[in-house]
Structure 1
Amino acid sequence: MSAMESFVKLFNEFEIQLLVLLSFTLQLFLFFAGNLRRRSSNRLLRLSLWAAYLGADLAAVYALGYLSRHQQTQQLVFFWAPFLLIHLGGQDTITAFALEDNNLWLRHLLNLVTQVTLALYVFSKSIGRHNTELLISGTFAFVAGMIKYGERTWSLKFGSITSLESSAAHRYRKELPEGTASDVAPFVGAALESMPYVLKVFSNRIVLADRRHKLENTVDDLDQMIRMVMLQLGMMYDDLYTKALVLRTRRGVILRCISEASVIVAFALFHVSEKGRYSKADIAITYSLFVGCFFLDVCSMFIPMMSPRTWAWLKAHKCHALARLSLFVFYSDIGYPKMKLRWPNSIGQYNLYRRWSTDRDLQPRTCTQHIMILLRKLFVDLFRVEQKKLFWLSKILDTEFTDVDIMIVEGVAKELTLLSSERRHNDKEWTHMAALLSWMQGNFLLDFGTGIITMHYVTETYLRKYASHSDMKAHAGLMEVCRKLSGYMMYLLVTHPSILPLNNSAELALDRFKNAHSMDLEIGQSLDPSKETLEELACMWTRLLLYSAGKSHPGMHAAQLSGGGELITFAWLFMAHYGLGDSGIIKIQLTNKDLVQDANLGRLYAFCVPPEQQRLF
């Protein structure tokens, strides 16, 4: 017998054991890595989570199918069927990988019925072949498995768009008893009190009365406002992609207690049962599954404790001791304040100066740039493949991520407050940007994508030209803000074009720019190297971000939360609190040359160009 045949025989002999251990390993990984994606845009992490999320279900389902096909009369493997149901129930930290999983909750319900029936069939074949203690122990484990699987399906239903649109805000209001907001930091209390409004914003159910909601009347400090909005994004992530919403209901808590009690009873009965006729390997695997359940359940108790919603829910139900524990965990090193409340922690960057659409032979700085240049030379130069057909590859390899500068987050918040104050007096002066504004008011309205690309190219040219200028070296931080905002808007255009108010596709905009950008680059020659110019340039990019956020759809932002969040989502929710944007009472138009107006709603301009500067290039 060859070595390969021996390996295959050994694998076939222990196939079910390996499948069960694989399923358990994937659950451990999902539990600890699932919560990381709320603060990370790392591609390797996201790919690993995607593979584990799909693989965990496949491993458990295949193992159940294996058990149903093979007679295991003298083995302990029949006892593992309930544990596979527990694994199919998923982890508290990652119920849904993407928003589409929530919307397909009926499919998961069908899977629940199918897999529970299959597990019952596997378990029923063992009746009369094993001792009573073991069968009763398996029955209690089976109860825990059905509850766990039911929790997952229930959570998916609650996180679906349909459920968000039909849910009543009073369900959230009753979580915060009157007067309890003063027990915590101002931004925490304000975040909890305004969550019913946030829920309506995300579900696109804002009515005229809701649009009068004002953030500035809730907290009076800009830093507190920023922290409040970021905390609300974190709570929305919990509701959409974890079991948090189910575990805050009375029925959810009761079912979780029954589930954990069932596992404890099952373990006790298994431990005292006669196991002499079973293999030591199977007994060790079963004990490992029990210990794993206990470990994950104990860890799961602390996950919801980190949320201020849990504290509010416990306070509402007069569980004062647990409420104090929740508040302690919330303010500890593992709670929200120490988890870096910035949302997101990173932003995407796509620099046209070093990318596929330019003819520049710049020195590559990263491994992905080396790969992209190699592929470009291989396909474009050697095989004569059209460059635009490699655009999908450029999206993957040319996109980078960088830390969010606190200056950017504060700049978005400050510019939003300034923009809101300009509702009555359009008094924003653009002393150093007159030529750029004159160009922008016509070209952006004709093709927003081409406008983003050209302005990005002008910004990069300007920053590179004056990088070593004596007057600019002292403002390196401000230059970096301009570069990051420019790269971020290009990143959105290339990777998330549906979130921007585009007239045409991103590919078409890139083609147009490549063929005609030399005609427009002269507008950057009038920009002088000064701090004031940099400030106005950063302001222009910020207002373009705010305008884009105001035109975006809520469902897109709900979907983006699963991938670490986007800066534009933070800007969108901040604007919604001020009643700005398409979801608010005051719509934002790009410039005062925009003829698309609604007489029934208030008007606000991202760029109000003086009459003497209103000319089209």
Structure 2
Amino acid sequence: MGLSSAMHWWEEWQLRILVLGSLFFQFFLLLSITMRRTVPRLRVLVWVAYVGGDALAIYALSTLFSRQKQRIGDRVTSALEVVWVPVLLIHLGGPYAISAYSLEDNELWRRHLMTLVIQITVALYIFCKWWSGEEKLLQAAILLFVVGIIKFAEKPWALRRASFNSMQASSSLSPQRKSSSTVVGGIIATIGRWCISEPYDLILASGRGNKWRELQESESLQKYVEEASKCVLTTEVDYEEGAKAIARHSELFGHTDYFADTIAPYSVRLSELQSFMKLGYLRGYLIVKMYIEVRFAIMYTKTRAVFSPLGVFLHYYLLPSLALASVVIFARSHKDGYSVNDIRVTYILFFCTAAQELYIWAKDLLGILLRTCQNRVGAYIGRWVSVETDTLAQYNLLSYCARNRKPTILMKLATFSFLRELINKNWYIGQVQSASHITFLVQRHVEDGWKKYIRGDTARYKKYNNLRGQLTLRRHHQMERIGWSLDMPFDQSVVIWHIATDLCFHYLNTSPQGVVTRGIGWSRDISNYMIYLLFIHPEMLMPGTRPGLFHIASDSIELFLKDSKASLDRAGNLEHDFICSTKTTKTEDRLILLICNLTEALMEVQENDRWQLILSVWLEMLCYSASRCRGYLHAKSLGEGGEYLSNIWLVWSFMGMQTWAERHHNLEHLEEEDDEGEEEQEQGGVDQSVEITIA
């Protein structure tokens, strides 16, 4: 009896639960944009809602179709259920806050277009075949049908505009082609472009945009390097201009879509460099974050569709008006003979649909209210509360080995070895709040590169873009001693330097006191982040990166320390054990020998210079890695919360350095330079910018 009652209850409430569940997914997606980017371990919930929301709405439509076929003789009691059909269409369109979960979703716009045709046809068929309600209820349903069809049709359109090919096409710097030879056709095409274009697309089409296009004349690289060097030397931080730049960042930095691997003219790059230099370090960092936020909105939300002139009319005026009108009409309609539960569910659906359409108004009004409480620049800075809260992902190879030797409680609970490996890889990713400081160091590093190394020389400009630590070793007169550690494949250099950095930190004669403390911390933070990229996101470290090197190094270390009895209860014990073993144990493992040789060479350097050297090498490696990751991968990482490497990549690009696209389109004719002469020109040794920052 209990089972039959449960089945009867489920039969009665199934459709209501499905529709309300679909509504819950919509509001969860609408409010989850912050969680999606800031809480990595909860992003799976957003993915479930994104995938499950569409599936649930389609399943609800099919359930409604089946129920109407079974209850075809009872038209009165089922009329309200038919009104839910346009609401499900609205749910299939999704909220404006999310259009794609991953970058690949944008390339599936054709599939969504086919789904659009099929689902609208099915919805109209269900509604027309089984509708039996009164006139006012019909009016409310028709209004919601208009909302549903517009929102559902908007989804494939938004996906198409955010596809990679579309972004590259919209980033084209060429003038718009005439779409028709007739005057009428040209007017219609112009109006159409105006209706669907974004605001700064319209700027490009205006007189200012035409003036900007005039700057695209072909220029030589030599002229660009000379002008850029002068720009860096002569441009001073202008706080007043910096405040204006924060307010109009899309005009200054919005023309070049680096995420679409766009190649900008040298004149445009020079203009960006000059604007970026005027900002200073803090405002420059905020501009980078704003640029990422805007590009994220373009690629993963319906921003390009919503904030076009046509989109503004639809989302700010038409759709909210239709949704509110449907609520009023439904409230005034006769409801005699309908199920009380169906009436309540319908009220919930209508009110929540209206609230969803008014969300964009509420969001803008809240923004206006905040801006009235603080000045314009403060409002923008307040969007991120404090740069101190920005984090940098961390992973450590020696800690990984320690957990393998002495598994944690969580790893012991995993029954199978592959689960323990999965937990050890993904659960112990740390975070440190040093992202902003390291970004400032990179900005200073690139600025000094223009001033002290490039100095208007094209050959040195190209060479600087290919350095990954050699410049630092040469300045510290260590090229002959440890230059070999940078002449090997980049991923192998990362592994060796990562372990050597840890060993130098735990060496007995290393003092954690004094002015080098922050230099030690930042060196380890970059080191742990680079090994995190190699192990977790090898595609972003550099093309051809071999994540298997992480396991090879781990196996070599575990084999080297197999007879060790050291306790692993405290952090650093494994490092101390490794150091002791290098003095007493002979090994033929090439990787261990390279690590020992590098560590010994670094420990021979005086302590202050040692950490100055290590930090500068890691800064060069970080810039080298960022500049060799194509924009598509940076764009893809934004859908997964974003990678800090994208910040470095944008700083590198805004500071006028060579981008991935430029490197593969320009011929590389590096002039051979006399290393001895180069050393003489760079006397003065240590990178002063890093010294000043650490001190």
TM-score bucket (shorter structure) = 0.7 to 0.9
Q: Which residue of 1 aligns with 2:690?
A: none
TM-score of the two chains, using structure 2 as the length reference: 0.73
Question: How many Å apart are 1:85 and its aligned residue?
Answer: 1.1
Question: How many Å apart are 1:418 and its aligned residue?
Answer: 2.1
1:524 aligns to 2:594 (yes or no): no
- Aligned partners of 2:366, 2:140: CA distance in 1, in Å? 33
- Aligned partners of 2:307, 2:663: CA distance in 1, in Å? 35
Relative to 1, partners in 2 of residues 1:479 and 1:270: Cα closer, same or farther, differing over 3 Å?
Answer: same
SS in 2 for 1:300: helix
- Aligned partners of 1:524, 1:98: CA distance in 2, in Å? 42
Give matches, 1:311-326, under 5 Å.
none
- The correspondence for 2:148, drawn from 145, 156, 163, is 145
- Aligned partners of 1:150, 1:454: CA distance in 2, in Å? 53
Indicate conservation of the 8 Å contact 2:106/2:160, yes or no: yes
Q: Deviations over 1:365-416 (max 9, x none)?
A: xxxx5323665xx656xxxx8xxx9765543233233334432121122222
Q: Which residue of 2 aligns with 1:202?
A: 259
Q: Which residue of 1 aligns with 2:687?
A: none
Question: How many Å apart are 1:183 and its aligned residue?
Answer: 10
SS in 2 for 1:92: coil
Letter of the 2:166 partner, please give it: S
Q: CA RMSD in A?
A: 3.7
Q: Which residue of 1 aligns with 2:188?
A: none
TM-score of the two chains, using structure 1 as the length reference: 0.81
Relative to 1, partners in 2 of residues 1:503 and 1:447: Cα closer, same or farther, differing over 3 Å?
Answer: farther
- The correspondence for 1:489, drawn from 518, 530, 544, is 530
Q: Deviations over 1:96-153 (max 9, x none)?
A: 11111111111111111111111111211233x2111111110111111111112222
Question: How many Å apart are 1:299 and its aligned residue?
Answer: 2.4
- Aligned partners of 1:205, 1:547: CA distance in 2, in Å? 19
- Aligned partners of 1:503, 1:55: CA distance in 2, in Å? 35
Deviation larger for 343-352 or 578-587: 578-587
Q: Which residue of 1 aligns with 2:48?
A: 51
Indicate conservation of the 8 Å contact 2:391/2:431, yes or no: yes
- The correspondence for 1:174, drawn from 178, 192, 202, is 202
Relative to 1, partners in 2 of residues 1:567 and 1:116: Cα closer, same or farther, differing over 3 Å?
Answer: same
1:339 aligns to 2:387 (yes or no): no
Question: How many Å apart are 1:55 and its aligned residue?
Answer: 1.1
> Structure 1: any 5+ residue segments left out of the alignment?
308-323, 588-596, 612-617
Relative to 1, partners in 2 of residues 1:95 and 1:609: Cα closer, same or farther, differing over 3 Å?
Answer: farther
1:572 aligns to 2:569 (yes or no): no
1:62 aligns to 2:59 (yes or no): yes
Q: Which residue of 2 aligns with 1:266?
A: 326
Letter of the 2:255 partner, please give it: Y
Indicate conservation of the 8 Å contact 2:256/2:262, yes or no: no
1:414 aligns to 2:444 (yes or no): yes
Indicate conservation of the 8 Å contact 2:319/2:357, yes or no: no
Indicate conservation of the 8 Å contact 1:343/1:565, yes or no: no
SS in 2 for 1:274: coil
Relative to 1, partners in 2 of residues 1:6 and 1:280: Cα closer, same or farther, differing over 3 Å?
Answer: same
Relative to 1, partners in 2 of residues 1:474 and 1:415: Cα closer, same or farther, differing over 3 Å?
Answer: closer
Q: Which residue of 2 aligns with 1:283?
A: 343
Identity, in percent, stands at 25
Give matches, 1:583-594, under 5 Å.
583=660
Question: How many Å apart are 1:535 and its aligned residue?
Answer: 3.0
Indicate conservation of the 8 Å contact 2:397/2:550, yes or no: no
Q: Which residue of 2 aligns with 1:499?
A: 540
Indicate conservation of the 8 Å contact 2:98/2:300, yes or no: yes
- Aligned partners of 1:417, 1:108: CA distance in 2, in Å? 47
- Aligned partners of 2:265, 2:399: CA distance in 1, in Å? 47
Q: Deviations over 1:352-377 (max 9, x none)?
A: 11114x68746x7xxxx5323665xx
Structure with the higher helix share, 1 or 2: 2
Q: Which residue of 2 aligns with 1:247?
A: 306
Indicate conservation of the 8 Å contact 2:501/2:524, yes or no: yes
Letter of the 2:597 partner, please give it: E
1:461 aligns to 2:503 (yes or no): yes
Indicate conservation of the 8 Å contact 2:85/2:123, yes or no: yes
Q: Which residue of 1 aligns with 2:636?
A: 559
- Aligned partners of 1:18, 1:558: CA distance in 2, in Å? 37
Relative to 1, partners in 2 of residues 1:212 and 1:603: Cα closer, same or farther, differing over 3 Å?
Answer: farther
Q: Deviations over 1:235-262 (max 9, x none)?
A: 1111111111112211112222222221
Q: Which residue of 1 aligns with 2:251?
A: 193
Aligned length: 562
SS in 1 for 2:111: helix
1:351 aligns to 2:428 (yes or no): no
SS in 1 for 2:639: helix
Question: How many Å apart are 1:331 and its aligned residue?
Answer: 6.0
Indicate conservation of the 8 Å contact 2:475/2:679, yes or no: no
Indicate conservation of the 8 Å contact 1:372/1:397, yes or no: no
Give matches, 1:111-130, under 5 Å.
111-127=115-131, 129-130=132-133
- Aligned partners of 1:204, 1:34: CA distance in 2, in Å? 25
Letter of the 1:371 partner, please give it: L
Indicate conservation of the 8 Å contact 1:469/1:529, yes or no: no
Relative to 1, partners in 2 of residues 1:247 and 1:536: Cα closer, same or farther, differing over 3 Å?
Answer: same
Relative to 1, partners in 2 of residues 1:585 and 1:222: Cα closer, same or farther, differing over 3 Å?
Answer: farther
Indicate conservation of the 8 Å contact 1:95/1:152, yes or no: yes
Letter of the 1:420 partner, please give it: W
Indicate conservation of the 8 Å contact 1:416/1:575, yes or no: yes
Q: Which residue of 2 aligns with 1:233?
A: 292
Letter of the 1:511 partner, please give it: I
Q: Deviations over 1:434-458 (max 9, x none)?
A: 55x5576444443221211111111
Letter of the 2:428 partner, please give it: D
Question: How many Å apart are 1:158 and its aligned residue?
Answer: 1.4
Deviation larger for 69-78 or 474-483: 474-483
Q: Deviations over 1:497-532 (max 9, x none)?
A: 111225452114541672533201232123356344
SS in 1 for 2:336: coil
Letter of the 1:411 partner, please give it: L
Indicate conservation of the 8 Å contact 1:211/1:579, yes or no: no
Letter of the 1:103 partner, please give it: E
SS in 1 for 2:255: helix
Indicate conservation of the 8 Å contact 2:162/2:300, yes or no: yes
- Aligned partners of 1:131, 1:482: CA distance in 2, in Å? 72
Relative to 1, partners in 2 of residues 1:252 and 1:485: Cα closer, same or farther, differing over 3 Å?
Answer: same
Question: How many Å apart are 1:86 and its aligned residue?
Answer: 1.1
SS in 1 for 2:432: strand
Relative to 1, partners in 2 of residues 1:603 and 1:143: Cα closer, same or farther, differing over 3 Å?
Answer: farther
Q: Which residue of 2 aligns with 1:25?
A: 24
Question: How many Å apart are 1:267 and its aligned residue?
Answer: 1.4
> Structure 2: any 5+ residue segments left out of the alignment?
176-197, 209-239, 465-470, 557-588, 681-695
Indicate conservation of the 8 Å contact 2:543/2:628, yes or no: no
Relative to 1, partners in 2 of residues 1:111 and 1:130: Cα closer, same or farther, differing over 3 Å?
Answer: same
- Aligned partners of 2:608, 2:3: CA distance in 1, in Å? 70
Greater C-alpha Rg: 2
